[in-house]
Amino acid sequence: MKIDMRKIIVLILGLGLSVLAFGQNPDAPVNWHLKDQASDQLQGVSVEKSYTELLSGKEKREVVVAILDSGVDIYHEDLKGAIWVNENEISGNGIDDDKNGYIDDVNGWSFIGGAEGDVEFDNLEFTRIFIDLNKKFVGKTEKTIDKKNKKEFERYLVFKKQFDDRLSEAEAAYNEFMQVYMAYEQAQALMQELTRKGNPTIEEISNVETSNEMEEAFKGFVLEVKTTGAESQLEEGKAHFENTLKYMYNLDFDSRHIVGDNYADTSEKNYGNNNVKGPESTHGTHVAGIVSALRDNGIGAQGINDSNVKIMSVRVVPNGDERDKDVANAIRYAADNGADIINMSFGKSYSPQKSVVDEAVAYASSKGVLLIHAAGNSSKNIDNKDN
């Protein structure tokens, strides 16, 4: 990939690393989210106030919260004692002791794993729909299709245009990001050359004497990245843009062989494995921590409740879009195995097997389970069609 150095220098001088920085307030107190707007002047959820004014003296009971997510690190030091245990299952004996259809489900279950391993990446649901339509209509025209397929063909054309546009945007975003990423690599190499050090410190880079505008821009670039801790964000950004093209919009990628189920059979329930952590559990562990991270160990943020809440991990969300069949089965699993609350911090634009999920929601509700789902995370008007 050829780098447009003039463009990069303008970007570095004009924008710095604002595109990489997260909007954090360094003056915000730790655990501000637990505070109260009226008494603390912080827009938290009034947890501390609830403990002192609403819950004081009231009898406690254990509440099981099922986290339907990417997985939960059940060995995390901030979740000690907070993980649900299936008392009717004997760990590691390869037997379905409690006869619930899931072998060794001691702390929950994963519906995106199998004997071959665990699903980490998947397509977007939009891509999966287009794959099915493309198999049926690729290379065909309105004149060559049956009249009975006209409406579906028109939908295919809409999806094809959207897919082509999305793929082009993803490729452009990747190329633009890689310009910055590769420029940083060059800037690092230059600082190594000027300092004669393989891994120069911030102080050593600060003392570098530059001889032209490019060297000064690269020096400032490296200092900004290192002092703000943005190196990890650059690596995460690279992985994000690469994975978007490699998996999310890849028409040839199919993760389902790992699971080994009959994907077309939405009534199938007993598949998956008991790896409730999975290959990447950052998001699910974060969500579990909000609910039940230890409140008195001085590590990280405090949870809402750490004394009588147990986290049941049900793995259902890959890096990509979750599948309706898995979501429905995860809801039923949680409801059947004692969850009082089901938390679902995920979402997507298309839900082709929505009825299966709706049936599972109704089933869990009939058992008295409270279901909580994210309202959205994309600033989109979901009153529009195709949502």
| pLDDT digits 0-9 by tens, 340-355 | 999 999 999 899 999 9
Encode burial over 254-284: b for 16+ CB neighbours within 10 A, e otherwise: ebeebbebeeeebeebebbbbbbbbebbebb
- Cβ atoms of residues 112 and 277 within 8 Å: no
DSSP characters over 132-152? HHHHHHTT--TTTS-GGGHHH
Tell me the HSE value of 83 on the side-chain side, using a 13 A CA sphere: 22
**pTM for the model:** 0.89
- Cβ atoms of residues 110 and 72 within 8 Å: no
- Cβ atoms of residues 61 and 308 within 8 Å: yes
Tokens of 297: 């160990």
Phi-psi region of 57 (alpha: psi -120 to 50; beta: other; left: phi over 0): left
Closest of 3, 14, 15, 23 to residue 184, by C-alpha? 3
What is the CATH code of the structural domain delimited by 60-120+260-387?
3.40.50.200
pLDDT tens for each residue of 106-160: 999 999 999 989 999 999 999 999 999 999 999 999 999 999 999 999 999 999 9
Question: Domain map of the chain by residue range?
Answer: 60-120+260-387, 130-248
pLDDT tens for each residue of 65-97: 999 999 999 999 999 999 999 999 999 999 999
